[in-house]
Amino acid sequence: MLPTFEIAPSAPQRGSVIWMHGLGASNRDFEPIIAELRAPWLRYVFPAAPVRPVTINGGVPMPAWYDILSFDDPPLREHEPDVRESEREIAALIERERGRGVPPEQIVLAGFSQGGAMALHTALRSAEPLAGVLVLSAYLLLPERFDAERTASSRESPVLFAHGRYDPVVPFRLGRSAHERLLSAGYASRWEAFDMEHSLCIEEVHLLASWLAERFAVKR
């Protein structure tokens, strides 16, 4: 199983967030924003991607959920066997949360860039609905497999896309087209754009906080 860094809930737990980092990054990258999310009733699980050579970076080994073969649009961008391997690893983390008493409908998959692409990819293939999916500055992996591989249950998982209008790494149009593809297939997909590049901004963090509060609102 992938190594993880975790932040335990400091209030009675309502769910878990499994959050994947971006290419070449650390699984502690998003630790500083957790307090801003104002959701102490969540357990945050940050897995570390395997270190592998990345073609677009001259074959230099770095933490990566999959090799990126080129800057072309998918499906020419990603190495499919790596994507499948990472999907299995993330699915294993979902099962571990189930074993800790957190069912899939109380689990959010989240990620930035490569990590966001993996969150979406894995959620679309889930046999059970999730609490939601956060796709931050990311895109749809293996788009030619979308119709054949997405599950009926995945349509019950709300999806939030957040993307920078000036993103030079993951083009704005790739994120937007992924959102539109989900909308056309009947998903509850929401799109939000921000005046930023390939990053997060405080307005986006506040959006994530309100979205999580909605997902895990206490029912009376």
201: left (phi over 0), alpha (psi -120 to 50) or beta: beta
Instruction: Please tell me what DSSP assigns to residue 41.
Output: T
pLDDT computed for residue 220 by the predictor: 47
Give residue for tokens 């497999």: 145
pLDDT computed for residue 49 by the predictor: 98
pLDDT computed for residue 219 by the predictor: 61
Verify whether residue 79 is a known catalytic residue.
no
Contacts of 13 (CB under 8 A, 6+ apart): 41, 42, 43, 102
pLDDT for 11 beyond 50: yes
CA pair distance 17, 70, nearest whole angstrom: 30
pLDDT tens profile 41-80: 999 999 999 999 999 999 999 999 999 998 877 767 899 9
Q: Which of 16, 21, 67, 167 is catalytic?
A: 167
Verify whether residue 198 is a known catalytic residue.
yes
Q: Which of 26, 153, 177, 198 is catalytic?
A: 198
Verify whether residue 126 is a known catalytic residue.
no
Starting from the edge strand earliest in sequence, which strands make up the sheet with 107-112, in order? 4-7, 42-47, 15-20, 107-112, 132-136, 159-164, 189-194
Q: Which of 113, 126, 157, 189 is catalytic?
A: 113
- Residue range 182-189: mean pLDDT, rounded: 98
pLDDT tens profile 18-36: 999 999 999 999 999 999 9
Q: Are 23 and 63 in contact (CB under 8 A)?
A: yes
Q: What's 4-215's CATH class?
A: alpha beta
pLDDT computed for residue 73 by the predictor: 76
Determine which of 1-5, 199-203, 214-218 has the lowest per-residue pLDDT on average.
214-218
